[in-house]
Amino acid sequence: MHPAIEYIEERRSAFVEELKGFLRIPSVSTKSEHKADMLKAAEWLVEQMRGMGLEHVGILPTAGHPVVYADWLHAAGKPTALVYGHYDVQPAEPLELWTTGPFDPAVRNGELYARGAVDDKGQVFMHLKALEAHLKTTGRLPVNVRLLIEGEEEIGSPNLDPFILQHKDTLRADVVVISDTAMIAKDAPGVTVGLRGLVYFQIDVEVAKSDLHSGGFGGAVENPAMALAQLLSKLKDRHGRITIPGFYDDVRKLPAEERRALARLPFSEKKFQKDLGAPALFGEKGFTTLERLWARPTLEVNGIYSGFIGEGAKTVLPCRAMAKISMRLVPNQDPTKIARLFVRHVKHIAPKTVRLKVTEVSGRGTPWLVPTDHPSLQAVARAIEKGFGKKPVYTRTGGTIPVVATLDRLLKAPILLMGIGLPDENAHAPNEKLDLDNLHHGMLSAAYLFEELAETGKGKA
């Protein structure tokens, strides 16, 4: 057996105890009262990194919580992997819903319960121990490695862009490895190869300078909520298809082979609907649920407001109405082009009876997709197959992971999303947990991954 693998196998339960130490630190980035805990978590990482022989270990300041950095760069001629993760966690409230304390880690039925268990301390720990296994058994790593563990992911990484720009040379890499996502189901380890992009707008319509009495004025002036409803109803039809001219022009057609692969994934539409408590599933005609979520764009109303929304009745004719509307994009849609098409269409269909304002209220996200035949994708696939003893599946997620977009844009290296979470592990919710089998097999996979990446050759990862 490979000495690094043996090292991990021998310490399986010891590692769980070690991880508990990391999880006990309440490093909640959004609360200022946890500022000292944030530093404590960073120092915990530093101690681990120094202990295994990583170099240039340090806590680097940002305008907010600091970044923990370390590297090992002695694999001459081999590619460099940048491992990204985060040591901050979501707040634990509501506390009364936790079976055991959020910062008092406990194992039940092979699962480790604590805030941060899966998101993302457990997955950061997995990479640390994989690196330690190599360093402690062979004194070296198969590839060059940099670690970038930030402390502000749960608050939207406000200082990551400037940090990366400032340290661009230090962070150069041939491949980025991130473990902060979930598998589609237990026993179905895999790689996330696609994310949707995003544009987000607010539409405001105004029909008068102040609210009116619906008796005294109703019927003689435009109703802004009705005008807005009529406008929204012209953005998507009853077959779930977006009706903005040109919207689908650049959508990459899903190859028959990919459709077959999606259909083979362990995903039950029936269970999905039941878990949601939905009276029916609904989406674009001609596509399965996974296709709709991962490979098809969508337009969603995120919020709408006008007039009186309290209990009972108020006879008001509101003077304005507002809606928030976002679109999730897929390759090869261009957020800039879609934003332009949206604004043009809304202006075109808005009636003359309203004053219209269309505002973009969030940064744009570009859709992201890694080709599965890319050498580094093949490397991670082999690593997962060895670590889990199962052929990996390729999944996508319908969301947008801002950090991926940031790293993609600034580092221009392929990104491997090897997540070992499960969909029901309560990230961001009470009773967050981590499956300890997945932690162990993920750790083995990570150890294999550094070896497999060495095979891809520098600059080709």
Binding to a copy of itself in span 87-106, by CB under 8 A:
none
Q: What are phi and psi of 430, to 5 degrees?
A: -65, 155
Rounded distance between C-alpha atoms, residue 438 and residue 446, angstroms: 12
Q: Enumerate the active-site residues.
A: 88, 153
Binding-site member from 209, 253, 260, 270 for a copy of itself (CB under 8 A): 209
Binding-site member from 73, 155, 304, 343 for a copy of itself (CB under 8 A): 304
Number of residues in contact with a copy of itself, rule: CB under 8 A?
A: 81
Residue whose CB is less far from a copy of itself, 10 or 300 = 300
**212 belongs to the binding site for a copy of itself (CB under 8 A):** yes
- The amino acid present at 278, given as its one-letter code, is A
- The amino acid present at 206, given as its one-letter code, is E
Q: Kindly identify the residues of this chain, within the stretch 219-238, that bind a copy of itself according to CB under 8 A.
A: 219-223, 225-226, 228-230, 232-233, 235-236, 238
**207 belongs to the binding site for a copy of itself (CB under 8 A):** yes
* Closest separation in Å from C-beta 404 to a copy of itself: 12
Q: Kindly identify the residues of this chain, within the stretch 395-424, that bind a copy of itself according to CB under 8 A.
A: 397-400
Could you give the residue ranges of the DSSP H alpha helices within 139-223?
160-166, 214-217
CA 260 to chain centre: 25
* Closest separation in Å from C-beta 269 to a copy of itself: 9
* Closest separation in Å from C-beta 143 to a copy of itself: 32
Binding-site member from 322, 405, 411, 422 for a copy of itself (CB under 8 A): 322
How many CB atoms within 10 Å of residue 66? 20
Binding-site member from 94, 139, 312, 371 for a copy of itself (CB under 8 A): 312
Rounded distance between C-alpha atoms, residue 447 and residue 11, angstroms: 14
Binding-site member from 47, 161, 300, 424 for a copy of itself (CB under 8 A): 300
List Cβ neighbours of 309 (8 Å cut-off, separation of 6 or more): none
Closest alpha carbon to 434 in 210, 179, 213, 192? 179
Q: Kindly identify the residues of this chain, within the stretch 354-383, that bind a copy of itself according to CB under 8 A.
A: 354-355, 361-362
For residue 129, the SS3 value is helix
Q: Kindly identify the residues of this chain, within the stretch 239-258, that bind a copy of itself according to CB under 8 A.
A: 240
- 98 token code pair: 């936790």
Rounded distance between C-alpha atoms, residue 48 and residue 375, angstroms: 31
Only segment of 16-24, 161-169, 218-226, 260-268 that touches a copy of itself (CB under 8 A): 218-226
- 267 token code pair: 């995903």
Only segment of 84-92, 165-173, 301-309, 413-421 that touches a copy of itself (CB under 8 A): 301-309
Closest alpha carbon to 445 in 129, 18, 69? 129
How many CB atoms within 10 Å of residue 33? 8
For residues 43 to 82, the per-residue mask of contacts with a copy of itself, x marking binding by CB under 8 A and - elsewhere, is ----------------------------------------
For residue 312, the SS3 value is coil
